[in-house]
């Protein structure tokens, strides 16, 4: 499995990057991205810390990307936050979508998919128009393994299939117990009604190759 949405101690995760890498490798996973929660107050802080790992990652057991998850930023400011993230050296940019279990501002999904991002995380009850724009802009929709966010996985899978938008599966892990292996990822995808599980895994590999 390639997990492109994980959190470290630099936002609200429990683990430092090295322990994330060790635990992911032990699970037999291929690669991951640390995408810590970000807004205008901490994008530079996050990337300054994560950048310190970049010179050493070749000695780890799996491939790693470092980036951010733009989180609870007002929809009209998402583009500015994304621009800053890329300028600060982010290698992957995720936006925290309109999950039904958090008070995400309405309009976040549609604003996000019009920007230069890679993944719209846990997009909740995303509508067809927004998914179509995501597909046109090469943005992946996330199937989530995380409690709560996973409640709309079936809807996301159906909408993604209907408009031809690429799907990826991520954990949005904040603690060791959130991490999963490929077998569990497969079961989550099947449970969501995804018709081509292998394609979802290949979407993550393709994105990793593009950004790595």
pLDDT in tens, 22-42: 999 999 999 999 999 999 999
pLDDT at 98: 99
Contacts of 123 (CB under 8 A, 6+ apart): 97, 98, 99, 109, 130, 141, 142, 152, 156
Q: What is the pLDDT of residue 72?
A: 98
Q: Report the SS3 class of residue 79.
A: helix
* 133-149 average pLDDT score: 98
Q: What is the pLDDT of residues 51-94, one digit of tens each?
A: 999 999 999 999 999 999 999 999 999 999 999 999 999 999 99
Please tell me the CATH code under which domain 2-211 is placed. Answer: 3.20.20.140
Percent of the chain's residues with pLDDT above 70: 100
């Amino acid at each position: 499995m390639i997990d492109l949405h994980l959190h470290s101690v630099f936002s609200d995760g429990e683990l430092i990057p090295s322990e994330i890498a060790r635990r992911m490798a032990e699970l037999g996973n291929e690669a991951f991205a640390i995408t810590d929660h970000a807004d205008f107050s901490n994008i530079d802080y996050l990337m300054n810390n994560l950048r310190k790992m970049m010179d050493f990652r070749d000695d780890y057991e799996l491939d790693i990307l470092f980036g951010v998850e733009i989180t609870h930023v007002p929809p009209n400011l998402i583009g500015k936050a994304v621009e800053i993230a890329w300028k600060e050296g982010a290698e992957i940019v995720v936006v925290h979508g309109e999950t039904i279990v958090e008070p995400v501002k309405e309009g976040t999904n549609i604003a996000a998919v019009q920007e230069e991002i890679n993944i719209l995380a846990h997009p909740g009850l995303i509508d067809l128009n927004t998914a179509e724009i995501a597909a046109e802009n090469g943005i992946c929709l996330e199937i989530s393994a995380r409690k709560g966010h996973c409640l709309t996985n079936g809807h996301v899978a159906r909408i993604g299939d209907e408009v031809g938008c690429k799907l990826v599966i991520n954990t949005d892990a904040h603690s060791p117990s959130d991490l999963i292996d490929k077998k569990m990822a497969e079961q989550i995808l099947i449970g969501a009604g995804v018709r081509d599980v292998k394609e979802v895994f290949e979407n993550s590999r393709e994105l990793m190759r593009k950004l790595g």
